[in-house]
Amino acid sequence: MNIINPAHDPQDVTRTLFQDFSTWMTVSFYVVAITAIAVFAYGVWMQIAKYRRGAPDRGWKMLGHRFMTMLKEVFSQRTVRRRDKPAGHAHALIFFGFVLLFIGTSIITLDYDITGPLLGLNFWHGSFYLWFSLVLDFAGLALIAGLLFMMYRRGWLRPPKLDYARPDRNPDEPDYNRSQYRIEDWAFLWTLVIIALTGFVLAAARMVWLHADPLVWDYRWWSPVATVLAYAFKGVGLTADGGEILRLYTWWFHGILALAFIAVIPYTKAMHMLTAAGSLMFRDPLAAQRLPTVPEEAVQVGYEKVTDFSWKHLLNLDACTKCGRCHEACPAATVGLPLSPRDLVLSLREFANESQWPKLLGGDPSKQVVHGDGVNQIRPETLWACRTCMACVEICPVGIEHVPMIVQMRRHLVEEGEMDPLLQGTLQNIQKKGNSFGENKRKRARWAKDLDFEIKDARKEPVDMLWFVGDYASFDPRNQKVSQRFARILTEAGVDFGILHDGEQNAGNDVRRVGEEGLYEMLAENNIEALNGASFQSIITTDPHSYNTIRNEYPDFGARFAIEHYSSLLDRLIAQGRLSFPKTLNYRVTYHDPCHLGRFNRGFDAPRNIIRALGLDLVEMQRSGDNSFCCGAGGGRIWQADPVGVEKPSENRMHEAAQIEGLEVFVVACPKDVTMFEDALKTAGYEGRFVVKELIELVYEALGHEKREREAADVA
């Protein structure tokens, strides 16, 4: 289809960028443009210099794959849409509108300043120009629509996650007030809206000015939004002379504002347009599941100074968009503890900038230590409030690795001995006894003495499956009963299994997340030695914490074992017909996804398959799956006392479960969950309304064993 009037030369169907400009005006524009680009380049260089001061990181591996993954994430907008689709869709309009307008501006620059003067090649005319105008008109409209929704959201909807009130500071402290962020947010939105609107005003004013020129007016509908605006201008009496004046002043206002926006990108919120892509590109998919080891040549352990942070973590800090999704998901922030992952990142970002920027820009190079009570320093109570549940890492749309940074800072606190006395005592127990209960290691398998069969010692005879039991399942009286029932289930299914008896030690998952890296490495090496000394095909564990570290972290110590959580084994045994249930359970239940099984290792389906196989009526809580709410035990918090008068995460979870009408059983699949939630059931005031049960207990009941146990007890 010929879209150009045959009477017109396609070369003339275009827009002259500097039409009717004097030489001094054109030169002035280029002076402003070059200055803006120079300011932008200096800011980028300054940020890169900051990252280069950071410690090395292994993020450069598989660069091509990382780049392609980043492109998929960026252009699908998948991470931005998660759990907030309205904001995600609005962001997509802004993103694609901005990208298309940026590409359009780059094309004009290419034609005017590079291919035209250097090669004599001009292409911004004819059919290409018309399609270009149509696409950019709709791009500008999309950009404005997305920005207006974001304004409505911030100004009227006001979701709590966009409230910058800090849980880690008191109102009288100098770094409590973050009103400058609200100002920056609104300035960012208004600047882009004005740039987009003045672009349409500029095009419409040009149409009114040149409406007598058929090379302009005959092709007006290729810029439909600008055309509607041009008719509006004419309708209120704007003449051609008025259009010329309006076009001139709008041209300069639009151009200078756009160039000023480019200049300030590295210094403002707009920087996330660059750093977010970099953060996604270098994201470690196992960031929280597999914490970094300490190099043998390391002089110190953990993060004490800004320069101890890896360059990737410094990049993470600059990628934060302040969206508040991590704040909303964090169990510590939810119950009012002095931690918000967002505020932690923003404090570290500000501290890094203040300590790395030149004094000319307000920096203070003498400020390096990130720990302390000073402005934007991180306090110990903030770090110890973290449950390392990975909720923040899971939901962050730009791939920030909060948990590894927190653990690295904890490592320094541990080195300095700055920790809760209860935690210190537990770590000493683990070091001396190999378990967090401080029990003699010979008692580790004592729970099996009450069974009417012997459990094999995998160190002495080969087994198909080695059961890595874990501390709580071995020593806690409540969880010992669950262990006994699981042993009976395995026996009934004909599984050939054994345990390490006193050769097993704490797997170290939570020891590592506390920050005691030296003790963790000792535990890992001892367990690896014991496992290598046993004869088995694969490992089974009832403890998601042990499952995570053996699966994801022991390979860094040269030990790769096939390991699975008990839920996937039981699911498979049921599917194979090796477990059948004479009794159908008709309870109304809800299921709590353990962090280390679900969010850490994507073990969502097997427990639910088992629940359905038992005939249970499963009602999901609002926060489930990868959005499951932490019980509060992770990161060593089960070994520390929670503040008096503050709601516990486990109590918060009980309140959520209690909203389910007719709930009878709160189902868990982790020994620590049993401990945390049975206590919370009482303290939250729901004892008698429903009960907490391990999934193993429900399987055991459906097999008919629980009834036989009661009958035997009655006879006795």
SS3 of the chain: helix, strand, coil, percent, to 5: 60, 5, 35
Task: Kindly list the domain boundaries of the chain, sorted by start residue.
Answer: 22-52+60-166+173-279, 286-415, 422-715
| Residue 583: predicted pLDDT | 85
The H-or-E segment that residue 541 falls in is strand 538-541
pLDDT tier at 646, thresholds 50, 70, 90? very high
| Token pair 């948990």 in the structure block, residue | 403
Rg (CA), the chain: 31
Whether 716 shows a pLDDT value over 50: the answer reads: no
pLDDT tier at 710, thresholds 50, 70, 90? low
- For residues 396-415, one letter each, b for 16 or more C-beta atoms within 10 angstroms of the residue's C-beta and e for the rest, the string is bbbbbbbbbbbbbbbbbbbb
* Euclidean distance between CA atoms 549 and 420, whole angstroms: 24
Dump pLDDT digits (tens) for 507-556: 999 999 999 999 999 999 999 999 999 999 999 999 999 999 999 999 99
CATH topology for 286-415 is Fumarate Reductase Iron-sulfur Protein; Chain B, domain 2 (1.10.1060)
Contact of 398 with 74, CB cutoff 8 Å:
no
| Token pair 């209690």 in the structure block, residue | 658
The H-or-E segment that residue 519 falls in is helix 517-532
The pLDDT of 338-360, averaged and rounded, is 88
| Residue 709: predicted pLDDT | 62
pLDDT tier at 241, thresholds 50, 70, 90? very high
Whether 84 shows a pLDDT value over 50: the answer reads: yes
* Euclidean distance between CA atoms 134 and 129, whole angstroms: 9
Under the phi-then-psi rule, with left for phi > 0, alpha for psi from -120 to 50, and beta for the rest, what region is 14?
beta
Helix count and strand count (H, E) for the chain:
29, 9
How many Cβ atoms sit within 10 Å of the Cβ of residue 364?
11
Whether 239 shows a pLDDT value over 90: the answer reads: yes
**Angle between the N-to-C axes of helices 421-433 and 517-532, in degrees from 0 to 180, rounded to the nearest 10:** 30
Whether 715 shows a pLDDT value over 90: the answer reads: no
Whether 56 shows a pLDDT value over 50: the answer reads: yes
Q: Where are the alpha helices (DSSP H) in 357-396?
A: 380-384, 391-395
pLDDT tier at 61, thresholds 50, 70, 90? confident
* Euclidean distance between CA atoms 113 and 121, whole angstroms: 11
22-52+60-166+173-279 and 286-415, same CATH topology: no
Cα–Cα distance list, 492 to 368, 462, 611, 700 (Å)? 61, 19, 19, 10
| Residue 707: predicted pLDDT | 59
| Residue 22: predicted pLDDT | 93
Under the phi-then-psi rule, with left for phi > 0, alpha for psi from -120 to 50, and beta for the rest, what region is 558?
left
Whether 364 shows a pLDDT value over 90: the answer reads: no
Dump pLDDT digits (tens) for 423-443: 999 999 999 999 999 999 999
698 is written with which tokens? 């429900």
Cα–Cα distance list, 499 to 483, 509, 558, 675 (Å)? 12, 19, 22, 23
* Euclidean distance between CA atoms 668 and 200, whole angstroms: 58
Whether domain 22-52+60-166+173-279 has CATH 1.20.950.20: the reply is yes
| Residue 113: predicted pLDDT | 86
Which of the residue ranges 268-282, 358-372, 589-603, 629-643 would you say has the lowest mean pLDDT? Answer: 358-372
**Angle between the N-to-C axes of helices 126-152 and 224-235, in degrees from 0 to 180, rounded to the nearest 10:** 80
* Euclidean distance between CA atoms 517 and 41, whole angstroms: 40
Closest by CA to 533, choosing from 566, 486, 501, is 501
Contact of 663 with 657, CB cutoff 8 Å:
yes
Name 203's Cβ contacts closer than 8 Å, sequence gap at least 6.
223, 226, 229, 230
Q: Determine the 3-state secondary structure of 540 from DSSP.
A: strand
| Residue 123: predicted pLDDT | 84
How many Cβ atoms sit within 10 Å of the Cβ of residue 544?
27
Which of the residue ranges 138-152, 294-308, 663-677 would you say has the lowest mean pLDDT? Answer: 294-308
Across all residues in the chain, what is the average pLDDT?
A: 94
Backbone phi, then psi, for 703, in 5-degree steps? -75, -10
How many Cβ atoms sit within 10 Å of the Cβ of residue 712?
9
The pLDDT of 29-51, averaged and rounded, is 95
Cα–Cα distance list, 544 to 172, 593, 603, 653 (Å)? 42, 10, 10, 19
* Euclidean distance between CA atoms 629 and 652, whole angstroms: 9
**Angle between the N-to-C axes of helices 695-702 and 566-575, in degrees from 0 to 180, rounded to the nearest 10:** 30
Dump the DSSP string for 558-599. T----EEEHHHHHHHHHHTTSS--SS----EEEE---TTTTT
pLDDT tier at 603, thresholds 50, 70, 90? very high
CA 341-51-302 angle, to 5 degrees, is 55
| Burial class (CB within 10 angstroms; exposed 0-12, middle 13-18, buried 19+) of 30 | exposed
Name 283's Cβ contacts closer than 8 Å, sequence gap at least 6.
399, 401
- State the DSSP code for 460: T
Closest by CA to 418, choosing from 383, 370, 375, 388, is 383
Closest by CA to 635, choosing from 676, 603, 669, 667, is 676
Name 20's Cβ contacts closer than 8 Å, sequence gap at least 6.
244
641 is written with which tokens? 């006392």
Q: Between the CA atoms of 621, 626, 631 and 633, what dihedral angle is there, to the nearest 10 degrees?
A: 170
- Which residues, in sequence order, are bridge partners of residue 498? 456, 466
Closest by CA to 278, choosing from 310, 306, 308, 316, is 316
Whether 628 shows a pLDDT value over 50: the answer reads: yes
| Residue 354: predicted pLDDT | 87
The pLDDT of 72-76, averaged and rounded, is 96
